[in-house]
Chain A
C-alpha cells in the first residue's frame, strides 16, 4: 500500500475553520479531508464536495421493494395458489397495500444503510488511520495531501497563521476495503508476482 505524506492542521472552532478552508484551497493545496466531531453544515460545499446521491439510491431501493411486494403477492394469489377467501377477488389490491408499503420502507432503509456503510467503508473490524484522536471530541482536523512540490514546513506555518492550534506531519497509508486498494494506485507489479 502506498504511504502518503499528509500535513495535519487542527482547529478548535468551526468559525476559524471555514475561512482557513477557503484560504488553503485558494493557495492551491489539495485538502484530503476534514475530520469533524459533528456534521458541520456547509463544510462539504466549502470543500467543493459534490452532493451525495444516497437519497437517489434510497428511492431505487424503495421502488424495488414496492415491485417485489406487488409482483410476489399477485403471482402467489392469482397464479401459484389462488385461494378462495369468502368468494372475494383473487387480485385484492387494497388488502395488499399495507405489506407493499412496509416492504418499500424496509428495502429503502436496509439498502440505504448498507450502501452508506459500503461507500463510506464502514464496517466492524475495519482499520483506518485516525489523524487525531480528538477529531471525534472537539477538534476540526484538516488533512492536506503532500505532493512532490509541497513544502510541508511552509504549509504547517501557513495553517498555523490561519488559526490552526496544532499542526503535524503524518505519513499514513490508505486502508483496504474489500480487496480494493486506493484508486490512485495501480498495483500491477504485485499482481504479476502473485501470478508467477
Chain B
C-alpha cells in the first residue's frame, strides 16, 4: 500500500521547485532547479569590466561613504577602481565579493579590505591592524609594512606584504597563503588551523604557538618556537611550491629555499589526545 502522506509532501515540494528526499539520519538534500535561477544569486556581486577604469578620491569621505561609492562604481560595471588619498582611514574596501582590480594610492588604517571574496587589491602604502581579516579568496599586495593581526582568520587567497608585519600575523588562519618579504613580530601563526605562512626575514618569539595545523616557512632567525610548534624537514615539493608561490607573488623569487625553516604543529595538544581520529578533523 502506498504511503499517501509521503507522496503528498513529495508532490507539494516538487511543485515548489524542490526535490526533497525523505529524511534519513541527519541530512536533507535540496536540489537546485535551473528554472528558478533568477532567485539564486550571490548578494552584493556585480558583473564588472576590468577595462572600465575610474578614480575615487576618498579624502573627504568617511569609510562608510567611501565603501558605498566603491559599491556604486562596481554596480555601474567598473572593474578597475583607483582609490586616491586613503590617508590611513579604517575599514576601507571591505566586504567586496566579486572580481575587481582595486588599487589604493596610499596607506590604510585598521581592518582594510576585510571579508573580501575575489578581488585583486594593490596597496601602494602601509596597512594598519587586521588587514584582510577573514579574506575568502583573491589577492592582496601591500607594497610597504603592515600592522599586527595581518591576515587574521583568512580562509583563502594570497596575502602579500613586501615589508615587515607586526605581531600575531595569521592568527586563527584557516586557509590561503600569507607571504611576508621582511620580518614578522611575536606570535606569528598563533592558533593557525590551516594554510601557509612564508616569512623571508626574521620572526619574533612564540612562532606558531598552539597551532593546530598548517605550515610556516621562515627564511631568517626565529625568536622562539611557541607551544606545540615543531621544526619539520624541508622537502623538494616544499621548495618547488615556495619557488612557484614567490614568483607569483613577485617577491623573493631568488631566495635560497634550502635555508628556510619549516614549522608545523606537533599535534601534542590535549584535544588531539582526547579525541578519536575521526573526530580530530571536526575539532579543527
Q: Do A and B bind each other?
A: no
User: Which A residues form the contact surface with B (CB < 8 A)?
Assistant: none
User: Which B residues form the contact surface with A (CB < 8 A)?
Assistant: none
